[in-house]
Structure 1
Amino acid sequence: MAEIRVPAHIQTYVTAIGIEKTVQFLLAFGGSYVYLSENPQDRSPVALAIGAAAARKLAQQIGAGGFRCPTGKPFIAAHLKYNKGFTINAIARQLHTTDVTVRAWLKAGESTQLDLFGT
């Protein structure tokens, strides 16, 4: 997998459950109010989406209770492009946005990377 920049507001999720589960979680709940439990039931929407073990880890890392989940679309776009090889159009369809927006997100992500070697 390519090294992509994880935004600070998404890093807590990645630390708790990894990039793949974070992307699953954000795609399922991004932009909505979600409730996390340290002891999720089998019918819990979060447990159904990412698994009970991941739901438990996320609740322990973030804290149990309700909150509004970030969408994380620029982060997801970068992950799908650089780690999964999706095309711009496929990413736009997945994230319900335009190809122009996806290109802007990817370009902005590239310009925020530091050039440590001066090449």
Structure 2
Amino acid sequence: MTRSQAHAKLPGAFPKPTAQVEPFVEALGFEDALRFLDAFGGTEVYIPENPKGRGEVEKLLGREKAKMLAGQMHRIPARIPTAKAWRARAHRSKGLPVVEIARILGVTDFSVRRYLRWVTPPSDPNQPGLF
């Protein structure tokens, strides 16, 4: 899947994947990439090319998605990124409250608010540009 195809598959409300998150979104889709990063972010993970049903990644994602992710391993570091700012924006786009996002990320609600402050609201296609 190309980068433009991956972005085209994202629903409009979801945040654009950062460079470190993009391989996961391309291989797994938005929802499964978010679940994977929530579960394994910050840890070293080995994903076999031919999963046998015993691994934690396969239990979380299923055999086919685990194989798709294994195909992206040349783009993924051994230690899975935490991507806390992107995950905070992603969970917020799903409508979760700040305190619940803080619990998921293992940070304070203040940190979540700081992550979300960097978000610019989506532009309105009906609003003409000034320049």
**If the length of structure 2 is used for normalisation, what is the TM-score?**
0.78
Distance in structure 2 (CA, Å) of the matches to 1:45 and 1:64: 20
Distance in structure 1 (CA, Å) of the matches to 2:106 and 2:15: 22
Q: Which amino acid aligns with 2:102?
A: A
Q: Does 1:92 align with 2:97?
A: no
Change (3 A) 1:100 1:66: closer
For 2:89, the equivalent position in structure 1 comes to 78
Q: How does 1:33-72 map to 2 (within 5 A)?
A: 33-63=44-74, 67-72=78-83
Higher strand share: 1
Higher helix share: 1
Please, what is the CA RMSD of the aligned residues?
2.6
Question: Could you tell me which of 80, 104, 114 is aligned with 1:104?
Answer: 114
Q: String of CA shifts for 1:4-24, please: whole Å, max 9, x gaps.
A: 121111101101110111111
Distance in structure 1 (CA, Å) of the matches to 2:46 and 2:113: 32
Distance in structure 2 (CA, Å) of the matches to 1:12 and 1:88: 26
TM-superposed CA distance for 1:61, in Å, is 1.9
Q: Percent identity?
A: 34
TM-superposed CA distance for 1:60, in Å, is 0.6
Q: Does 1:13 align with 2:13?
A: no
Distance in structure 2 (CA, Å) of the matches to 1:65 and 1:15: 12
Contact kept, 8 Å, 1:35 with 1:66, in 2: the verdict is no
Distance in structure 2 (CA, Å) of the matches to 1:118 and 1:62: 44
Contact kept, 8 Å, 2:23 with 2:75, in 1: the verdict is no
List 4+ stretches of structure 1 deviating above 6 A. none
